[in-house]
């Protein structure tokens, strides 16, 4: 389906939008792309991201997009190495918790937490990363019952292939054979203070139509990065990017842990190497926030935020949106 789309921040390069409704207003938490001068590679070294801005609006398709300014930089974070990639924010008891992936001084991704009294920040980072955290792309679900769940993980530059059973592999990264189950994303309930995992992270298993885990060779459907979770009609919709096949896909489950059964494509490929998204309901409408690289002339490391409406059919399936219209 072709949908009207809007670029949200035409004056700057922002990507990986996490979007939530706080105080009856949409808040957008993107990563911030800068020119790096580094040749493009599979580890993502060309992504020069070093700070965050927060944006908000009361009408994503036509309203003013307010830039609340700089809210966190790598220089603010005691354990920082480089590459402050995509983040997410959750609210609990009037506090706002920003979860961010950042390479430490050994060039290993960890997930940190920064706290604010306001959704627009600024955010004050904790002195250390979350214990036992690894990889990137954190996304947090407030399940509405007092429990919060973090979904995370990404392959290649996201380093997820370096871990099994939440431990780093002694021999470095390994990938399964094409006919073996694909590397899954991870999910963990957060502790009551929102600062740590309350449990060991678990695999987010995506099943095919026959109830079998998607295989590593199923490149059109298997997980690569960019986890997001939302609920619709009592079901849990786990959405994600297929990475090198440039699709946003989704799977549905009955609880936050899954398993989730593959359903289809949310967004077909856009201009740019991959895409990253969030899905949110606001004032009775559903929206898909994502990015592409059209304004930068296709430079995959300089991306721009977009939004369009998202719709479901009568059976609760998401109607596929064309990425290139």
Active-site option among 86, 137, 225, 292: 225
Contact 308, 319 (CB under 8 A): no
- Per-position b or e across 242-269, b if 16+ CB within 10 A of its CB: bbeebbbbbbbbeebbbbbbbbebbbeb
Q: What is the DSSP letter of 152?
A: E
Cβ-proximal residues to 184 (8 Å cutoff; 6+ apart), any chain = 153, 203, 204, 205, 206, 213, 223
Q: What is the DSSP letter of 93?
A: T
Known catalytic residue at 16: yes
3-state secondary structure 107-142: CCEEEEEEEECCCCCCCEECCCCCCCCCCCCCEEEE
Is 231 exposed, middle or buried, given 0-12, 13-18 or 19+ CB atoms closer than 10 A?
middle
Cα 260 from Cα 254, distance rounded (Å): 8
Cα 211 from Cα 194, distance rounded (Å): 34
Cα 211 from Cα 323, distance rounded (Å): 29
Active-site option among 16, 88, 91, 120: 16
Retrieve residue 56's tokens: 């908000």
Known catalytic residue at 315: no
Q: Which are the catalytic amino acids?
A: 16, 225
């Amino acid at each position: 389906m072709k949908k009207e789309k809007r670029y949200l921040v035409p004056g700057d390069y922002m990507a990986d939008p996490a979007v939530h409704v706080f105080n009856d207003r949409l808040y957008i938490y993107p990563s911030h792309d800068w020119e790096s001068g580094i040749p493009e590679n599979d580890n993502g070294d060309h992504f020069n991201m070093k700070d965050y801005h927060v944006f908000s609006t009361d009408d994503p398709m036509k309203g003013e997009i307010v830039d609340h300014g700089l809210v966190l930089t790598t220089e603010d974070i005691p354990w920082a190495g480089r590459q402050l990639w995509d983040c997410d924010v959750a609210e609990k008891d009037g506090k706002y918790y920003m979860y961010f992936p950042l390479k430490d001084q050994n060039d290993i991704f960890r997930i940190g937490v920064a706290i604010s009294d306001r959704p627009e920040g600024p955010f004050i980072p904790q002195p250390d990363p979350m214990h036992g955290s690894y990889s990137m792309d954190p996304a947090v679900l407030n399940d509405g019952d007092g429990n919060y769940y973090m979904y995370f993980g990404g392959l290649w530059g996201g380093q997820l292939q370096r871990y099994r059973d939440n431990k780093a592999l002694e021999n470095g990264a390994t990938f399964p054979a094409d006919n073996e189950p694909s590397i899954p994303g991870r999910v963990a309930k957060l502790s009551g203070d929102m600062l740590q995992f309350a449990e060991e992270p678990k695999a987010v298993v995506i099943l095919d139509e026959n109830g079998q885990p998607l295989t590593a060779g199923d490149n059109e459907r298997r997980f690569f990065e960019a986890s997001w979770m939302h609920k619709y009609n009592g079901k849990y919709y786990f959405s994600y990017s297929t990475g090198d096949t440039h699709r946003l896909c989704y799977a549905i489950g009955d609880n936050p842990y899954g398993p989730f059964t593959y359903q289809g494509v949310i967004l077909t490929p856009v201009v740019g190497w991959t895409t990253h998204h969030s899905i949110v309901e606001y004032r009775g409408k559903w929206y898909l926030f994502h990015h592409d690289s059209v304004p930068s002339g296709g430079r995959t490391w300089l991306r721009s935020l977009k939004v369009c409406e998202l719709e479901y059919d009568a059976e609760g399936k998401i109607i596929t949106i064309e990425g290139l219209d």
